[in-house]
Amino acid sequence: MITYNRPVYTRLSLERLLTTADERTRVWVWHNGDDQETLGVVRDFEGHPRLHRVHHSPENVRLREPTNWLYREGEGQYVSKVDDDCLVPHGWIQTFREMHEREPKLGVVACWHFQEADYSSERSAHKTVTIGNGHRLIRNPWVGGSGYLLKRACIDRHGILGEGDSATEYWIRLARAGWLVGWAYPLVIQDHMDDPRSAHTMIRSDEDLERMMPLSARNFGAGSLAAWDAQLRRSARLVQKAPYDPRVYAPWRRTLRRRWRRVARVLGIEAPAW
């Protein structure tokens, strides 16, 4: 887990992560920055039998360096990252571990990070497949960067996140190399507390959004609560409609797609999923 400056969220998310961790699971925490209240929350859990390592970076180095720290130094057969604004569900580790054990080609499987109401069987039917021993997967070349389980073999063969890489780009790289990537079905839902629809959210007004601006909201240019809510719903629709063939996401296509989406935002229309 990577923590920063959200003590209330961190207490909820870290406690839940430790509760869901079984005897085969070791939890590592990287704390960014010097928010003493959040750091104090992390320290409160240091005696927990599942909390294995805590690293404090006085500088906020964001996500790539902490993720690569885990990928480089972790020795487990599987690795994961859970964000401090996400509540993972009970049993998620065991479910995902079993899926990996039953399907050698499974690279990464993730929790659904939208609302249950955002799921549409009609939109997702074209990309839902059955994998090892009857498990089902909503295939997509990328998933969210929280609440996933990644095979160590993927890191051994394809390395860690490169300079400038996001989690999305790393997942697409794995998918293009032939690994299965996607969300478990039936859905394994993590509660994204920065979603205004979450029962645990602290973002209930435009002022809250400005004060607690999530990185994704900033990246999407969501300047109001209504815009952020609409963007989350739009993202859920797009990932379900998006083609699962990773060849569609070649670098030149991604550049074209980003440019078209910028135009679509200006025009106030929904960009295609390709």
Percent of the chain with pLDDT over 70: 91
Q: What is the mean pLDDT of the chain?
A: 93
Task: Give the number of residues written for the chain.
Answer: 274
154-193 confidence digits (pLDDT tens): 999 999 999 989 999 999 999 999 999 999 999 999 999 9
- What's the confidence (pLDDT) of residue 257? 53
In angstroms, the Cα distances linking 24 to 77, 99, 106 are 10, 16, 20
CATH number of 64-274: 3.90.550
Both structure tokens of 28: 């590592």
15 versus 164: the higher-pLDDT residue is 15
- What's the confidence (pLDDT) of residue 274? 47
Sequence-separated (6 or more) residues with CB below 8 Å from residue 197: 115, 229, 232
- What's the confidence (pLDDT) of residue 7? 98
126-136 confidence digits (pLDDT tens): 999 999 989 99
